[in-house]
Amino acid sequence: MTERILTCSEALAEALDQEMARDEGVFVIGEDIRAHGGIFGQFKGLPEKYPDRVIDTPISETCIVGAGLGAAITGMRPFVDLHFADFVTTAMDEIVNQAAKIRYMFGGQVKVPLVIWAPDGGGLSAAAHHSQCLEAWFVHTPGLKVVIPSEPADVMGLTRSAIRDNNPVIFFQHKKLFAHKGPVPSNEFAIPLGQAKIKRQGRHITIITYSLMTHICLEAARSLEEHGIEAEVIDLRTLKPLDFDLIASSLKKTYRALIVHEACLTGGFGAEVAARIGEELFDFLDAPVTRIGAKDVPMPFSPVMENFVIPQKDDIVETAKRLVTT
């Protein structure tokens, strides 16, 4: 299988191009897409190729998501761009009270093939209104699926699966990963929702993570190797549905679990994973399930303070060393 090197932005644009060519019901809707090709270049070339299916909107996330939802339940497959994940707050009724519930409330007679694409994460000095990681809100809502890739190939494969799914999907993509490059297969492929991936094999501790933290955890794993600790790193890729089987198989080998995410620690998705591990895998554990997340404060503007709030490689290394020697 041949591969090429793409950025996450290029992978998204190519996946959308192919899905729009495959299915005339697929369209993109959001703010400033036609004029700028997306603020991260993620829609580059699409307005020219599909002038009737790349739609600019007023600055109203309520309107954008509502229009996408209406189109979805009448047979289209909209890809809704929210600019920044933080802006979901103004469309929460449409997402959690309508999109998430309609298929259930209509007894399965109505499909909701809606993708809501939401760039998230800090580290770019975008401050408190443009830096949040809000995935736990939507994992908590029945009826929604939640996707959060870390590599260009995963962006491409999960985009295809999200668009083809008949349920609403919240698709988070970390802003610091748009320019991240990686190999992408040349053939058309899809990655099933709910399929995690082992990014690095190990036998002493399992590090469970996703999004940008996947790369930070891999850096930490390389540092841990210098201390004789072999860390297994799992990139969840999809939070709902969750590939708990892969987590379980890893922990039955390593006996220690460290969960790392950029979202704030209290109420973060790591708490759900930790609870399931404690309930279902307690007998396999040699150390307490441990979480690392951001400090429970709004994201600061200062780069120094951002680094203080967001988990860093050294935080992961020191915590893993403590767990392995427990």
From the list 238, 265, 258, the residue with the least C-alpha distance to 326 is 258
Lowest mean pLDDT among 39-48, 57-66, 163-172, 264-273: 39-48
pLDDT digits (tens, 9 = 90+) for 188-242: 899 999 999 999 999 999 999 999 999 999 999 999 999 999 999 999 999 999 9
Which one is catalytic: 130, 174, 180, 215? 130
Q: Is the model's pTM score more than 0.85?
A: yes
Four-way CATH pick for 3-185: 3.40.50.970, 3.90.25.10, 3.40.720.10, 1.20.1440.130:
3.40.50.970
Q: Would residue 130 show up in a list of annotated catalytic residues for this protein?
A: yes
Model pLDDT, residue 51: 93
Q: What percent of the chain has pLDDT over 70?
A: 100
Q: How far is CA 30 from CA 37, 56, 59, 176, in A?
A: 11, 5, 8, 21
Domain regions of the chain by residue span: 3-185, 197-324
Q: What percent of the chain has pLDDT over 90?
A: 90
- What is the mean predicted confidence (pLDDT) over 269-279? 98
Per-residue burial over 23-41, b = 16 or more CB atoms within 10 Å of its CB, e = otherwise: eebbbbbbbebbeebbbbb
CA trace torsion 117, 12, 168, 207 (10° rounding): -80
Strands of 54-56's sheet, edge to edge? 54-56, 26-30, 77-81, 115-120, 169-174, 145-147, 238-240
CATH 1.10.579.10 fits 197-324, yes or no: no
Lowest mean pLDDT among 32-36, 52-56, 267-271: 32-36
Residue 196: CB partners within 8 Å, gap ≥ 6?
234, 235, 236, 237, 238, 242, 243, 246, 247
Distance CA(11)–CA(25), nearest Å, equals: 20
Q: Would residue 215 show up in a list of annotated catalytic residues for this protein?
A: no
Model pLDDT, residue 2: 86
- The domains spanning 3-185 and 197-324 adopt the same CATH topology: yes
Model pLDDT, residue 37: 77
pLDDT at 1 over 70: no
Which one is catalytic: 19, 61, 94, 135? 61
pLDDT digits (tens, 9 = 90+) for 121-131: 998 888 899 98
Decide the pairing of beta strands 145-147 and 181-185. Answer: unpaired
